Amino acid sequence: MKGNSTIFCILLSTTSGLAVSLDCPQPIEGLAVGEIVQALVTVPQEGADGRHFDVECIVRRCDLPDEVRLPLPESPVTDTALTLTSDSPPEPAAQQADTTQPSAVWGNLPGPADTQAPTDQQQKIAVWANWVAEHNPQLTETECELIVRWVLGYSRIYGVNHRLIFAVIEAESDFNPACVSHAGAVGLMQLMPSTARSVQVQNRWNVQENIRGGIQYLSQQLAAYADRSNYEQCVLGLASYNAGPNAVKKYGGVPPYDETRRYVIKVTNRFAELERAGYP
């Protein structure tokens, strides 16, 4: 407590043993006191204030797949993970079961006002948030920014160009979190139930989970063709995302499906346009 207000503190310890505390004036939505999370941060440059860290992404450890989870420490506050502590715990975010009815769930990561980013990162987020808003004006400013933060954060975690992810989401749902396909795929990245299970997505309607799962699944499809040229890897990875990896293997390339061929052309063209236009 500080006066009559509560300060929520995130305790961070790096692998080198450097301890850092991050003060938050408000609770971070979706996190309970004592819950372990992982963070993507920018460390200060040499000569800068060594106490200042820019937090780019905070993710609950339980929402991450096993291969990217950091090991649990003997004590939560002495690991590379983060722990949220406060005198007055925030209410945990409500969990919604997967359903066939469109009902997007927002939460889990801090809202835009709860994190700090360097000026260039703020500008990058603003550019993409405006781009997202142009596609779906019904999204609030906060929702646009959260989508961008999640795309940027998970793209870095899974090693996928974020411009490609934005192009995929545009083709899949045009940034409508309540989008449902005739085949039953849902959300921004149009996850089918089997795909969601393969990447440990518990609720396809949770916007953060949907983005994380879609990026993870696409990264797996791209990795399957890592020995090809960048162009072939991109085309075959996208075809696998759309038609399934077995179809691509069966035909030895992009399957002869009109939908898949249109999809690959649309996404690769948009990806190239974003690159040429200099989107950050």
Residue 180 contacts residue 172 (beta carbons within 8 Å): no
Is the distance from CB of 191 to CB of 201 less than 8 angstroms? Answer: yes
pLDDT winner (highest mean) among 23-27, 50-54, 149-153:
149-153
- On whether the CB atoms of residues 57 and 82 are closer than 8 A, the answer is no
Considering the chain, what is the average pLDDT of its residues?
77
pTM of the model: 0.65
Q: Is 143 a catalytic residue?
A: no
The beta-strand segments (E) located in the chain are: 8-13, 19-24, 36-42, 54-60, 82-85
pLDDT at 112: 46
Mean pLDDT on 180-207: 94
Q: What percent of the chain has pLDDT over 90?
A: 56
What per-residue confidence (pLDDT) applies to 54?
A: 65
If one counts every other C-beta atom within 10 angstroms of the C-beta of residue 80, the result is 14
For position 109, what pLDDT does the model report?
Answer: 45
68: which residues sit within 8 A by CB, 6+ positions away?
Answer: 157, 158
Q: Does residue 113 have a pLDDT over 50? A: no
Q: Lowest mean pLDDT of 17-21, 75-79, 117-121, 239-243, name the range.
A: 75-79
Question: Which pLDDT belongs to residue 59?
Answer: 73
pLDDT for position 11: 59
pLDDT of residue 115: 46
DSSP 3-state of 83: strand
Closest Cα partner for 132 from 146, 116, 114, 119?
146
pLDDT score of 35: 56
- Higher-confidence residue: 126 or 93? 126
For 188-195, what is the mean pLDDT?
96
The predicted pLDDT at position 90 comes to 31
Asked if residue 225 has pLDDT above 60, the reply is: yes
Q: Report which of residues 61 and 57 the model is more confident about.
A: 57
Sheet containing 36-42: give its strands across.
Answer: 19-24, 8-13, 82-85, 36-42, 54-60
For the segment 250-274, the average pLDDT, to the nearest whole number, is 96
Count, in order, helices (H) and strands (E) of the chain.
8, 5
pLDDT higher than 80, residue 253: yes
- Given the residues 35, 172, 209, 275, the one annotated as active site: 172
For residue 75, name the pLDDT band (cuts at 50, 70, 90). Answer: very low
Gap between the Cα atoms of 250 and 252, Å rounded = 6
- Give the pLDDT score at 120: 82
Q: How far apart are the first and last CA of the chain?
A: 40
